[in-house]
Amino acid sequence: MNGADWAGVAGAGGVFLFLIVVVWQIAATWRARMLASREQQYKELAGKYARLLEDNVELHRRTLDELTQARTSITSMEKMMREIE
């Protein structure tokens, strides 16, 4: 092989190396975008969960209030029935 052949081999190797680096960087950028998108979805899911949890706590509080009122009414009715006897 003479010098021109080696130059051609080195040039082809350089082109292939450049293409490998470009593809590698495109893949890394795509992966970073996917991770950022997934992180955003996790944040939205966490926000939705927080809202649902707040709603659940409010429903629980209302149920306890209604149960307390029902117990008070039942106690009052029992007292009234005992007084009638």
Terminal-to-terminal C-alpha distance of the chain: 121
Per-residue pLDDT of the chain (85 residues; tens, 9 = 90+): 666 788 888 888 999 999 999 999 999 999 999 999 999 999 999 999 999 999 999 999 999 999 999 999 999 999 999 888 6
Chain-centroid distance, C-alpha 41: 5
Torsion over CA: 14, 20, 24, 26 (sign): positive
